[in-house]
Structure 1
Amino acid sequence: MANAKVSIIIPSFNTGKYISQCLDSVVNQTLKDIEIICIDNHSTDNTLNILKEYAKRDSRIKIISFNENNGAAASRNIGIENATGEYIGFVDSDDYIHLEMFEKLYDAAISKDLDMCMCKISTFEDGTGVLNDDIWYFALNCFNQLKKEVFNHHDTKEFMGEISVTVYNKIYRASMIRKNQIRFPMTPVFEDEVFFYDTYLHSQRVSVIPHNLYYYRTNREGSIVQQTADKDYSPVVEVFKTIRNIFIKTNNYEEYKCILCNIFIPMEIWRYGLSSKKYHESFFKDMKADCLELFEDKEILENLPIHIVDRVDNLINSSDWVEFDKKENFKDISVILTCYNDEKTIEKSILSVINQDLDFKKHVQCIIVDDGSEDKTKDICEKYIDLYPNNIVYIHQKHQGKSNAINLGTRYTKGKYYYYLDGNEEIKPQELLKLFNG
């Protein structure tokens, strides 16, 4: 199909339970002039058979089948190389999309001459199908502060780290990808981050359409993001180096170096805490060596945000991973408690976290983000900080809204799991123990 308007690339591996829902939403798009490139990673269930059945009924479907599981990055790259469309989009085989998704994205891209166009994402719970349209990161709320309808990376410099790097809620001008030879890196994790920054820096014209058009499945058994055993996030160090090189090659590094470090150094430390202990020794060495090299540039060191300075000090002043782990005092669960003028309820909210059936001192970190309270909320919170200095963090910011407060709180987390709580709510005593026990 040489004249397709959009090439839609769908990698798959053992998603037979979900792929029909995905394909139904793609083949029935209101934009008919599409090609659908399905790359199967040697599925051992009925995924490939389902793909073949759909291909018999729809000539727009092209199937590429691997003889081994090469991963999502390799699949997407093969898809890019085989795409003939004017624009390229991606859909994961366990998700589905709005029937007008690609028509809306394509129409916006053509009318505004865009290199990249984004839409909002809704999550839906596997099993129940419950939709959530307003998760801050997926809803692209960071763009609310932007006045321009068409923009590029220079316009979003101040909130670069808040933009969703997901590949599947965007379409990309195919000629831009080919001209700059942009591909997904062959890393086991974080390939979306690399692809996003490479395409974003090369896009001269970008826009967002204010519609939730992509439906992302959560809590699916067997999905990559849900596999928690034997976790190794150490490749994030190499990924950060790759992203820095992209900024260097595009002559943007000097402008963004402090911003990049403020995004990725906290991410590295957070991901270190999420990784299995058996990877900590090598992860620690790589992370410390990279930070020491970066800090030879004093401007980077001097511009670290206050919430990460102590943790960086712990890293560079620890002789080994055992000492660093002890200093970091990692927890199992981080409760992000947001509040605004909640003096009547905040104490009960805090106590509901402290008095959990799960041992608070041993397992729980409570991050209280005060979104500019003008009452006695701060005084009440500080009382509990004094009682639990190793468990409770208090942050006060100017009033910017709940979503911003939650995003700020995530930067301080030391837990493997998150729990979100409002200052006028309480947690049932057994709630965190349930989360801890999986």
Structure 2
Amino acid sequence: MKLLSIAIPCYNSEAYMRNCIESLLPGGNEVEILIVDDGSTKDNTAQIADEYEARYPGICRAIHQENGGHGEAVNAGLRAATGIYFKVVDSDDWVNAEAYKEVLETLRSFVMGNQTLDMLITNFVYEKQGAKHKRVMQYRTALPKRQLCTWKDVKVFMLGQYILMHSVIYRTQMLKECGLELPKHTFYVDNIFVFQPLPYVKTFYYLDVNFYRYFIGRQDQSVNEQVMIGRIDQQLLVTRLMLGYYHSAKITNHKLRHYMVRYLEIMMTISSILAIKSGTDENMAKKKQLWENLREQDLALYMRLRWGFLGQSMNLPGKSGRTVSIAGYKISQKFFGFN
């Protein structure tokens, strides 16, 4: 059994996937690298995946499937994973070598010890193209460092400070037991990946190292603002699914509940902002319907989100109200790093 399974969803990723894979190879035999070719047709992604499997047998494994989108590639990686822990690294991203060593040492210490770790959290760096200063998402104000914690140990998550896919490594069995199944052909499902499992996470550990390097800046990237507006229906779908997961989970721990509500707040903000910035009546109607559906499903959650600062700024009437919404937009920019 491997210590860590790492899934790399790849779709026409020839231009950058080698850099990603090479950054993960120093994990050696403790790590399995699952290169998921999600039906690539325009380049040599499939051949590169096979090449690495041939060069590094027992470490790299090529998985070929019909195109199902990022979520289905993550699902395929999770189904195939044999490691005790599981992480997703996107094909245009990479990891820091020194931090990688510390991550593996930390995971190893829990496997060898008598305490169960459900989620390891690390920092990640926005490798934004053209940016002089690299912004780091870190959790020092929110989580105790280098100790096994439960939700009762959480301190303060600042607005704009969230645990994202780049931050987490899960215990594989826990992830499978929580029934995680990301929707096919849908972008932005990484939000579900770091939201739905949270009620099942009983213990976590914050390792304050800048492990993951999140590349951002390609014009076709899913978090490019214009691309997001064009895919607003997928953003709305993911937001609705997350609202449903929260409603059905019936969270009792108040700190976990508070964090999950704050996450839903930013999801509602982003969905609303995209509708406003699209400038179309059709998308504004979809925004209105999203809020109305929430009110019908969970009135208490609706009141919390609708009358919070961000909710109010998303729902002010007229052109002047939409101008105020820019405050929420700027928070959304920080959340995604999009331009």
TM-score range, shorter chain: 0.7 to 0.9
Partner of 1:80: 78
* TM-score, normalised by the number of residues in structure 2: 0.80
Residue number in structure 1 paired with 2:63: 64
CA distance 1:20–1:187, change in 2 (3 Å): closer
Q: Cα distance, 1:162 vs. partner?
A: 4.2
Alignment counterpart, residue 162 of structure 2, candidates 164, 167, 178? 164
1:39 Cα deviation after fit: 0.8
Structure 1 CA distance, aligned partners of 2:145 and 2:122? 17
> Structure 1 CA distance, aligned partners of 2:306 and 2:281?
32
Q: Does 1:41 align with 2:34?
A: no
Specify which of 290, 296, 310 is matched with residue 287 of structure 1: 290
What is the aligned length? 325
Q: Kindly, what percent of the aligned residue pairs are identical? A: 19
8 A contact 1:273–1:330 mirrored in 2: no
Q: Contact (CA 8 Å) 1:10, 1:37: kept in 2 or not?
A: yes
1:217 aligned partner: 215
Give the Cα separation in 1 of the matches to 2:39 and 2:119: 31
Q: Any stretches of 5+ residues in structure 1 without a counterpart?
A: 315-323, 335-364, 368-407, 419-434
Q: Does 2:316 correspond to 1:308? A: no
Rg larger for: 1
RMSD in angstroms over aligned alpha carbons?
3.6
Measure how far apart 1:102 and its partner are. Answer: 4.3
Separation in structure 1 between the aligned mates of residue 332 and residue 73 of structure 2, nearest angstrom = 35
Aligned position for 2:330: 410
Correspondences of 1:165-244 after superposition (within 5 Å): 165-186=163-184, 188-226=186-224, 228-229=226-227, 231-244=230-243
Report which of the two has the higher share of helix: 2
Question: Shift in Å at residue 198 of structure 1?
Answer: 1.8
Instruction: State which of 112, 118, 124 in structure 2 corresponds to 1:115.
Output: 118
Deviations 1:20-60 (A, max 9, x none): 1111111123x531111111122211222222222221002
Structure 2 CA distance for partners of 1:96 and 1:184, relative to 1, 3 Å: same
1:83-94 residue pairs with structure 2 within 5 A?
Answer: 83-94=81-92
Q: In the alignment, what sits opposite 1:351?
A: none
TM-score (norm 1): 0.63
Secondary structure of 2:315 counterpart: helix
C-alpha change, 1:148 and 1:162, in structure 2 (3 Å) is farther
Amino acid in structure 1 at the alignment position of 2:286: F
Q: Which moved more, 1:9-18 or 1:285-294?
A: 285-294
Residue ranges of structure 2 left out of the alignment (5+ in a row):
111-115
Q: Given residue 150 of structure 1, which amino acid in structure 2 is its aligned partner?
A: L
Query: For the structure 1 residues 226 and 303, does the alpha-carbon distance in structure 2 shift closer, same or farther, using more than 3 Å as the test?
Result: closer
Match of 2:322 in 1: 329
Change (3 A) 1:302 1:48: closer
3-state SS of 2:198 partner: helix
Query: Distance in 2 between the 1:74 and 1:298 partners?
Result: 30
Q: Any conservation in 1 of the 2:146–2:206 contact (CA below 8 Å)?
A: no
Equivalence for 2:113 = none
Structure 1 residue 213 displacement after superposition: 1.4
SS of equivalent to 2:8: strand
Deviation digits for residues 66-87 of structure 1 (CA, Å, limit 9, x no counterpart): 23x3211000101100111111
Q: Aligned partners of 1:171, 1:253: CA distance in 2, in Å?
A: 24
Asked if the contact 1:123/1:216 (under 8 Å) is kept, the reply is yes
Query: Higher relative contact order by CA 8 Å / sep ≥ 6: 1 or 2?
Result: 2
Asked if the contact 1:114/1:205 (under 8 Å) is kept, the reply is: yes
- Counterpart of 1:358 in structure 2 is none
Q: Secondary structure at the match of 1:217?
A: strand
How far residue 295 of structure 1 moved from its aligned partner, in angstroms, is: 7.3
Aligned mates of 2:172, 2:216 — CA distance in 1: 29
